[in-house]
Amino acid sequence: MQKLRLRYAKRGRLRFTSHRDVARAFERALRRAGVPMAYSQGFNPHPKISWIGAAPTGVASEAEYVEVQVVERVDPAALGRALDSALAPGLDVLEVVEAGPGALAERVEASRWRIALPGVAAGELAAAVTALLAAESVEVERLTKDGRRLIDARPAVMSAEVIDSAALPADSPDAVGIDMPGPGDSCGILLVVVRQTTPAVRPDDVLSALRAVAALEPPVPAKATRMAQGRLDGAGGLSDPLAPDRVAVGGAGGES
């Protein structure tokens, strides 16, 4: 049995797709692509697919991860191309590698988010972020299936940087999937690293925290995209979760 790890993106209108629907789409695509999936035992067998920290509904992502197990050895790059062709545009397979030792989930402890705030100047956003980072605790309210609850969003925020969209080069990794503004239409963009906690602190919780500390009220909805996941390094960045797998299998994998 072979285990493969995939990085995929959720883009455009597909950001409004729930994780349950994404999972169903992947299962259908795996069947259409003829992938020799391994199945669980019992009266109701399921394909062996393991999801790693799916992005919330309404949020785009360039760094979603999933593991699949197959009963016959396959070429990771060929599987990636076949699966990408079988998925709807907006669910895009970016990389497939053969799994090396260890669990992928152990390599993911934080996410890097890009949050674009149309109608909010970079200076105004920077002042709000400074107030957030200076606070020891910022409680925000979240509506859950069990009712409203308060969570402290501040401890999960590891770092935050504000840039002006007009100063963001079109070829920058942080510009992937973003509509670049025209002259005079620049806005503030927040790049924030958020540690995984229980309960998880999501981009809308970070925005609620900015509202709480600085009364920041974007005139139109913000656009959040997960740009990366991984372990925190000493410089506050994130390591690539698939890097050890590429080393373990001699660099297998490829773009689709």
Per-residue pLDDT, 84: 97
Q: Tell me how many domains the chain contains.
A: 2
Residue 183 in this model has a pLDDT that exceeds 60: no
Residue 101: the pLDDT is: 87
Residue 203 falls inside a structural domain = yes
Same domain, 133 and 222: yes
Taking only the tens place, the pLDDT of each residue in 50-87 is: 999 899 999 999 999 999 999 999 999 999 999 999 99
Residue with token string 């000493």: 234
Per-residue model confidence as pLDDT tens digits over 191-247: 999 999 888 899 999 999 999 999 999 999 999 999 999 999 877 789 999 999 987
65 and 121 share one domain:
no
Evaluate whether 229 touches 110 at the Cβ level (below 8 Å). yes
* 1-10 per-position pLDDT tens digit: 899 999 999 9
Same domain membership, residue 211 and residue 124: yes
pLDDT number for residue 173: 82
Question: Residue 235 domain-assigned?
Answer: no
**159 lies in some domain:** yes
If you write DSSP's letter for every residue of 15-79 in order, what string do you get? GGS-HHHHHHHHHHHHHHTT--B-B--SSS--B-EEEESPPPTT-EEEEEEEEEEESS---HHHH
- Whether residues 119 and 68 share a domain: the answer is no
- Asked if 90 and 120 sit in the same domain, the reply is no
Whether 178 is in a domain gets the answer: yes
213 & 102 share domain: no
Whether 160 and 190 share a structural domain: yes
Are residues 121 and 101 part of one domain? no
Residues 11 and 96 in one domain: yes
Q: Are residues 72 and 133 located together in one domain of the fold? A: no
pLDDT at 227: 96
Residue 30 has pLDDT above 90, yes or no: yes
Which helix (H) or strand (E) is 227 found in, with range?
Answer: strand 223-230
Residue 129 sits in the same domain as residue 196: yes
pTM, full prediction: 0.89
Instruction: Tell me which residue range forms the domain holding 60.
Output: 2-106+241-248
Residues in the chain: 256
Computed over every residue of the chain, the mean pLDDT equals 90
Share of the chain above pLDDT 70, in %: 94
253 inside domain: no
Q: Is residue 256 part of a domain?
A: no
